[in-house]
Amino acid sequence: MSSSASVPVLRSIATGIPPHLVPQSEIQAAAATLFPRLSQRPKLMEVFSNAQIDRRALAMPLEWYMEPRSFAEKNAVYVETTLELCQRLTLEALAQADCPAAEVDAVVFVTSTGISTPSLESVIMERLGINRQAVRLPLWGLGCAGGAQGLARAADLVRAGYRNVLLIAAEMCSLTLVAGDQSSSNFVGTALFSDGAAALLLGPDTGAACLARVRGAHSTLIPASEDVMGWDVDDGGLKVRFSQDIPTLVASMMKGDVDEALQGSGWQPEDLDEYIVHPGGAKVVAAYEAALGLPEGRLVCSRKVLRDYGNMSSATVLFVLAYTLRRGAKGRGLLSAMGPGFCAEHVLLEFPA
Q: Mind telling me the catalytic residues? A: 144
| C-alpha to C-alpha distances, 34 to 38, 68, 155, 174, nearest whole angstrom | 9, 10, 43, 14
Phi-psi region of 266 (alpha: psi -120 to 50; beta: other; left: phi over 0): left
- Helix extents (H) in 130-218: 146-159, 184-192
Q: Whole-angstrom Cα distance, residue 160 to residue 6?
A: 8
Contact present, 68 and 180 (Cβ < 8 Å): yes
| C-alpha to C-alpha distances, 200 to 34, 93, 256, nearest whole angstrom | 37, 6, 29
Q: Whole-angstrom Cα distance, residue 83 to residue 173?
A: 15
Q: What are phi and psi of 201, to 5 degrees?
A: -120, 130
Question: Count of alpha carbons within 13 Å of 320, Cβ hemisphere only?
Answer: 32
Q: Is 152 helix (H, G, I), strand (E, B) or coil?
A: helix
Question: Count of alpha carbons within 13 Å of 169, Cβ hemisphere only?
Answer: 30
Q: Whole-angstrom Cα distance, residue 263 to residue 255?
A: 12
Query: Cis link prior to 48 (omega < 30° from 0)?
Result: no
Q: Are strands 165-172 and 106-111 parallel, antiparallel or unpaired?
A: parallel
The torsion angle over the Cα atoms of residues 74, 75, 79 and 82, rounded to 10 degrees, is: 60
Helices first, then strands: H and E counts in the chain = 10, 13
Q: Are strands 135-140 and 106-111 parallel, antiparallel or unpaired?
A: parallel
Contact present, 79 and 116 (Cβ < 8 Å): yes
